[in-house]
Amino acid sequence: MHEKLFDYYKVLYRGDVPYFDRIHRDSYNCMGHVPEIEKVEILNPGKVIRFTFYDKSWVKTIRMDDDSWDFEFAFYIAYAKLLWGKYLNAEGIWQKACELKGQKLYVKLVEKAIRRFNRENGTKVKKGE
């Protein structure tokens, strides 16, 4: 019995990313494996933003005409899409983005990415824009 349990934990924590993603996606967040945003490209102003992360993965956020979220919330949507995009629909990603907005780790990552974006583009994007 104990050997099977030990083998289970060995498989779980060996670093096998697909298995880790499938089973313990929420644990992935708090273990320091969340990549930072490296580059933010505004493809269509006010509509489409492309986020490139340091692990070379990328996510697009598309704002429809009836959406009410701002530039800052697009960063939270990007993280939610990165972490749960394969498993959730748009409403689920929206809910996860709202949850991420209350977590200190993601607030710091988003603030850092917005500062980097402002510095690179010479603009000043504030909350609510």
Which carries the bigger pLDDT value, residue 40 or residue 124?
Answer: 40
Tell me the per-residue pLDDT of 24-80, one tens digit each, with 9 for 90 and over: 444 444 445 778 899 999 998 888 999 999 888 899 998 888 777 788 899 999 999
Percent of the chain with pLDDT over 70: 71
Q: Is 0.85 topped by the overall pTM?
A: no
Q: Is the pLDDT of residue 99 over 80?
A: yes
Q: CA 96, CA 109: separation in Å to the nearest integer?
A: 16
Position 40 scores a pLDDT of 92
> Bridge partners of 44?
48
- End-to-end alpha-carbon separation of the chain, Å? 57
